[in-house]
Amino acid sequence: MHTALNTLRTTPILSVKTESPTVKTYTLKDKLCAKAKPGQFLMLWIPGVDEIPLSVMYAENDRVSVTVKAVGDATRHLHSMKPGETVGVRGPFGNCFTEASGKILMVGGGTGTAPLLFLARRLATKAQRLSFVVGAKTKTELLFLKELNAVCTEQGVITTTEDGTYGLQCLVTEPLGKLLAATKFDMVYTCGPELMVSKIFNLTEQHGISFEASLERLMRCGIGLCGSCVIGKYRVCRDGPVFNAAQLSEVKSELGISKLGFDGERIPV
């Protein structure tokens, strides 16, 4: 690891964009994070509050964007911050999605859509077909519809809401059975709640399709030191956050089942 990556850089928030009632996108100036590849994450310091891992949603020139859902203390505090206010970043950390070609399917749940959008933008011109299933509880929480429609194959974006306010009324995983049966995809990528990831992993295994998923675990150091984020023998922050099917098979006894809590105790996912 290059220590420069892990050195804390403070930087003003350049812009804030509201994506949904609970989700905002923050754009920061940071040369190092601007070199992030899809799948990598950064550690965002909210001064005096907390430091949390966030996937990179976009990176270009000297700018990097992250898309954040307000779920607790840190993220709610971040949501109250305005352009010009100072945050800290270190990273980018972790590995990235391999960039496949051919027919590609992505499945995004919640803010898990963010790193996949980043990936989709990279693959758009290369992929033979690019489909995206994106789901949320309700219409207003569906993320990046316009952006996804712009990069995916025509009619490639399938939306699901749990309350049926938009698209199909079901979980994001439901349309997958049919999709995978109908088309021989070359690669399925996913990011989102771990139960979703685990379901999709089983499906792709049944269909014998290449698969990569980005996982989330409690993270502290972000550099593979403290052990907070481990799943099986892997450190999500350093060996991941992206894992392929072979690796996920090795950690089946934990995937979607248990993780470490703040005190290092094994708790349900």
Partner 1 sequence: MSRNPLSTSFAGLKLRNPTALASGILGYTAESLQRVVEGGAGAVVTKSVGAAPRMGYANPTVVQANCGLVNAMGLPNPGIDEFVEEIAHAKIILQAPLIVSVFGYSAEEYALVAEKAVAAGAEALELNVSCPHVKQTGSEIGQNPRILAEVVAKVKGAVQVPVIVKLSPNVTDMAETARVAVKAGADALTAINTVKAMAIDVDTTLPVLSNTRGGLSGPAIKPIALRCVYDLYETVETPIIGCGGITTWKDAVEFFLAGAIAVQVGTAVALENPNVFHAINRGVKAYLKKKGYGSVKEIVGIAHRA
Ligand X SMILES: Cc1cc2nc3c(=O)[nH]c(=O)nc-3n(C[C@H](O)[C@H](O)[C@H](O)COP(=O)(O)OP(=O)(O)OC[C@H]3O[C@@H](n4cnc5c(N)ncnc54)[C@H](O)[C@@H]3O)c2cc1C
**Residue that is written with structure tokens 């995004």 in the block:** 108
Nearer to ligand FES, 199 or 235 (CB): 235
Six token digits for residue 149: 């429609």
Count residues near ligand FMN (CB under 6 A): 2
Nearer to ligand FMN, 83 or 227 (CB): 227
Establish if 263 lies at the interface with partner 1 (CB under 8 A): yes
Task: Kindly state the smallest distance separating residue 223's Cβ from ligand FMN, in Å.
Answer: 10
Mention every residue, 6+ apart, whose C-beta is less than 8 A from residue 104.
Answer: 123, 127, 128, 129, 130, 131, 185, 186, 187, 188, 189
In whole angstroms, what is the distance from residue 91 CA to residue 144 CA? 24
In whole angstroms, what is the distance from residue 257 CA to residue 125 CA? 37
1 touches, from partner 1, ligand FMN, ligand X, none (C-beta below 5 to 8 Å by class): partner 1
Task: Kindly state the smallest distance separating residue 21's Cβ from partner 1, in Å.
Answer: 26
In whole angstroms, what is the distance from residue 19 CA to residue 29 CA? 20
Name which position in 1, 8, 225, 267 contacts ligand FMN (CB under 6 A). 225
Region of 202 on the Ramachandran plot (φ > 0 left; ψ -120 to 50 alpha; else beta) = alpha
Name which position in 5, 81, 145, 226 contacts ligand FMN (CB under 6 A). 226
In whole angstroms, what is the distance from residue 236 CA to residue 94 CA? 8
Give the helix/strand (H/E) hosting 51: strand 50-60
Q: Which residues bind ligand FES (CB under 6 A)?
A: 219-222, 224-229, 235, 237
- Considering only the stretches 119-127, 135-143, 161-169, 211-219, report the one whose residues sit in contact with ligand X under the rule CB under 6 A: 211-219
In whole angstroms, what is the distance from residue 243 CA to residue 98 CA? 10
Establish if 219 lies at the interface with ligand X (CB under 6 A): yes
Residues 150-179 that bind ligand X (CB under 6 A): none
Mention every residue, 6+ apart, whose C-beta is less than 8 A from residue 67.
Answer: 19, 23, 24, 25, 26, 54, 55, 57, 111, 113, 114, 143
6 touches, from ligand FMN, partner 1, ligand FES, none (C-beta below 5 to 8 Å by class): partner 1
Residue window 17-56: x/- pattern of binding to ligand X, with contact defined by CB under 6 A: ------------------------x--------x-xxxx-
Residues 19-78 that bind partner 1 (CB under 8 A): 43, 45, 47-48, 50-52
In whole angstroms, what is the distance from residue 50 CA to residue 203 CA? 37
CB 116 within 8 A of CB 144: no
Residues 212-241 that bind partner 1 (CB under 8 A): 220-228, 230, 232-235, 238
Nearer to ligand X, 161 or 214 (CB): 214
| Interaction site with ligand X (CB under 6 A) | 41, 50, 52-55, 66-69, 71-75, 111, 114, 216-219, 241
